[in-house]
Amino acid sequence: MRNLFFLSVLFMAYGCGKSNYATYQPVYASVNWEEQPDYSQLKNWAAHPLKIDPSDSVPASILTKYQPKSLADVFFVHPTTYLDPAMPNGWSASLKDIALNINTDYTTILSQASIFNEVGMVYAPRYRQAHINSYYPVNKIDTINALAAFELAYQDVKKAFEYYLTNHNQGKPIIIAAHSQGSTHAKRLLKEFFDGKGLTKQLVSAYIVGMAIDPKEFTSLKACAKPAETGCICAWRTYKEGYVPPIIQKEQFNSIVTNPLSWDKDQVSVSRKVNQGTVLYNFKKVIPNVAAANNHEGVLWTPKPKFFGNFLYNTKNYHIADYNLFYMSVRKNAMDRALQFASSSSN
């Protein structure tokens, strides 16, 4: 998936200042902009501690080792699931789209948000996400629509986070986790609520995966450099070894890349033999030794993942599996950082 860089370039090219884009509303959107989601209602959360949802799931092969703790709250922002080419709800998804909500719950909430269910309670808001086409505007009208859709989506995410802070957090440590479009919004969330702000003291870590992050984007928040470091950002974008998409070749910076097997900035190449578990289409099964991890100039490379049936897996872009290829490693790392945070806070 392309990042917001391309979108921003187009927007500036048409002479519209970034500070103005919130005033634009999608020309063709059918979603009622005045109908703000009420996050006091559980139906507006894809994952929430007060409801049973797919984020509570644990792969069967590790269920006997599952020992949930309450070390931190996890605020997870899901990626784009509004993919219908017909764009039935215009540029912004409707929270009333039951089929879309079910798809969200049993894809990203199940296979990504569940990674964090051992370290603490998972909160994942439903939000009026921007359609996938928002990342690929082709003209001025599309660009205005796309930017407006992203703004609407972020305002929902922000509102959900503010509701969570006011009604649920109670000063507990926080992990921010996101993927793809979710990371587009999570970056803004970090900037607005954590970067140089008092809430930083509650930040265990942020997993902002699947999007480019300029190291200069934040003033105080830094890339995580060591496996148990806290108050920092982890990020990666996964591609087949040797491949760098054209859009990334045009980036004017090397994005933050955290190696999700070593978690150490000095150990940038790690064999698949170290990878303790990948979760693919069969959520019940954890498969070891599937993917290696090699940092390369702003992206994460891996040789073709090794699993039964991989001869059918011919893509060079592993974006959809950014988390799943390293499922157990991320799961353990979140716990390691939360334990370190708890230890440091008690001293």
Cβ atoms < 10 Å from Cβ of 184: 29
Chain position carrying tokens 């909160």: 123
| Residue 3 confidence (pLDDT) | 35
What domain count does the chain have?
Answer: 1
**Domain range for 148:** 4-346
- Scored b (16 or more CB within 10 A) or e, 194-214 reads bbeeeeeebbbbbbbbbbbbe
- The count of other CB atoms within 10 Å of the CB of residue 343 is 11
221: closest CA among 242, 241, 235?
Answer: 235
- pLDDT computed for residue 22 by the predictor: 41
Say which residue, 224 or 15, is predicted with more confidence: 224
At 103-136, the pLDDT tens digits run: 999 999 999 999 999 999 999 999 999 999 999 9
- pLDDT-based confidence at 33, cuts 50/70/90? low
pLDDT at 282: 87
* Span 172-188, average pLDDT: 98
Q: How many other C-beta atoms lie within 10 A of the C-beta of residue 215?
A: 14
Confidence of residue 27 (pLDDT cuts 50, 70, 90): low
Flag whether pLDDT at 86 surpasses 70.
yes
Which pLDDT value is given to residue 25? 55
What is the per-residue pLDDT for 156? 97
Closest CA to 277 of 59, 92, 121, 123: 59
What's the pTM value of the predicted model, to 2 decimals?
0.91
